[in-house]
Amino acid sequence: MNLSSAEYTELLNEYKARQLQNEQILVARREEVYARIPRYKEMEEELITLSAEKARAMIRKDSEKVSKLDEQLEDLQRDQKLLLTSAGYSINYLDPQYSCPYCKDTGFIDGARCHCFKQAILDRIYEQSSIKEQLALENFETLRHDFQVGEASRDFEKAVSKARNFADLFGTRYANICFTGSVGTGKTFLSNCIVNEVLKKGYSCIYFSAPTLFNTISDYKFHNKYDNGSENPLNAIKSCDLLVIDDLGTELSNSFSTAELLNLLNERYLAKKPIVISTNLSLEDLCSRYTDRVFSRLFAQFEICTLSGQDIRLYIKQMQNRK
């Protein structure tokens, strides 16, 4: 996942600004507590003094002194927390503040890019703000179960259960899921539910409609739209933690798109990188549209969830028009 040098520097500066902002919040909180509870600051000075004494005792290898100082430090820290909570503050009010607890807003963990940093790069390259707005509307909390009846309702409940399980176990196992069914039965909604949970866990995710995906690959390989070396979308497509392909089957059907789909399925399988697919095509349609190699991988490597019933979007619109 590549950005230009200027864009990368800008992103790093944003992380530095975030660190500075959170540090300023912590400084302001400390000053507030010091003003309201002078004894708290005195205790901090005592902790510094005791810690220095402990360090000297450790250098002298005076284990008895170290043990005694450990007890004093523990008692003082406990009293300090009691003092803070008795004044109405939470016990972690003066803990460092982080937007990302994994990397502590540095963007890196042990020299490797944090999930939040990877997602920030993806957001810049693919401008997924519209997707994020959609996720605020389409997630497991807003999901409704009253639009389908009978067999369609049972199909939907099974798909919801599989989607929840996929999201819950994401990061602990390798799995792929494919939602099939007619238009408006909830396939994209369930994909968005999964994406929302995966992002909340701190993993990177990239979301493409099938036509956009193959057009992006084609632009990179044949149309020199990324020839300045600033961006290589294939890196992101191959290496993001979760790839979502919406409306598979609506792309232009030709040997190029079929070959690229096969390559993508193979490469992400070898890297154990999950994929979520939604398609209006039935299994029979997928079999006839794609090569045996593509279909066999879809059938063998993906959990297939088939949805049926009425077009939920159309149903909602009709209900709104009746009001």
Residue 207's SS3 state is strand
Which residue among 33, 63, 86 closes a domain? 86
Q: What is the pLDDT of residue 225?
A: 60
Which residue among 86, 107, 136 closes a domain? 86
Q: What is the pLDDT of residue 133?
A: 78
Residue written as tokens 């360090």? 55
On whether the CB atoms of residues 171 and 203 are closer than 8 A, the answer is yes
On whether the CB atoms of residues 146 and 232 are closer than 8 A, the answer is no
Q: What is the pLDDT of residue 323?
A: 57
Which residue among 86, 105, 139 closes a domain? 86
Shared-domain flag, residues 172 and 27: no
Shared-domain flag, residues 229 and 80: no
Shared-domain flag, residues 151 and 268: yes
Strands 112-113 and 242-246: unpaired
Shared-domain flag, residues 145 and 225: yes
Q: What is the pLDDT along the chain (323 residues), one digit of tens a residue?
A: 456 677 788 899 999 999 999 999 999 999 999 999 999 999 999 999 999 999 999 999 999 999 999 999 999 999 999 999 999 999 999 998 888 989 999 999 999 889 888 888 877 766 665 677 788 888 999 998 888 888 989 999 999 999 999 999 999 999 999 999 998 899 999 999 999 999 888 788 889 999 999 998 988 888 666 554 445 778 888 888 999 999 999 999 899 999 999 999 999 999 999 999 999 999 999 999 999 999 999 999 999 999 988 877 776 666 566 65
Q: State the first-to-last Cα distance of the chain, in angstroms, to the nearest integer.
A: 48
How far does CA 100 lie from the centroid of its chain?
Answer: 11
Residue 157 lies in domain: 128-322
- pTM of this structure: 0.70
Shared-domain flag, residues 46 and 181: no
Q: In this structure, is residue 223 part of a structural domain?
A: yes
Shared-domain flag, residues 55 and 140: no
The DSSP-derived string for 260-300 is HHHHHHHHHHHTT--EEEEES--HHHHHHHS-HHHHHHHHH
Q: What is the pLDDT of residue 290?
A: 94
Q: Give the amino acid at 30.
A: R
Distances in Å between the Cα of 292 and the Cα atoms of 100, 258, 262 are 44, 11, 10
Q: In this structure, is residue 100 part of a structural domain?
A: no
Q: In this structure, is residue 122 part of a structural domain?
A: no
Q: What is the pLDDT of residue 1?
A: 46
Phi and psi (nearest 5°) for 220?
Answer: -70, -40
Residue 223 CA to residue 284 CA, distance in Å, equals 34
Q: In this structure, is residue 275 part of a structural domain?
A: yes
Residue 314 CA to residue 320 CA, distance in Å, equals 10
Domain count, the chain: 2
Q: Which two tokens stand for residue 249?
A: 């089957």
Closest by CA position to 80, among listed 95, 96, 100: 95
Residue 258's SS3 state is helix
Q: Which two tokens stand for residue 44?
A: 């901090």
Beta bridge partners of 275: 243
Beta bridge partners of 209: 246
Shared-domain flag, residues 10 and 150: no
Q: Which two tokens stand for residue 41?
A: 């600051």
Residue written as tokens 């509870």? 37
Q: What is the pLDDT of residue 126?
A: 66
Q: What is the pLDDT of residue 115?
A: 86
pLDDT tens column, 184-223 = 899 999 999 999 999 888 788 889 999 999 998 988 888 6
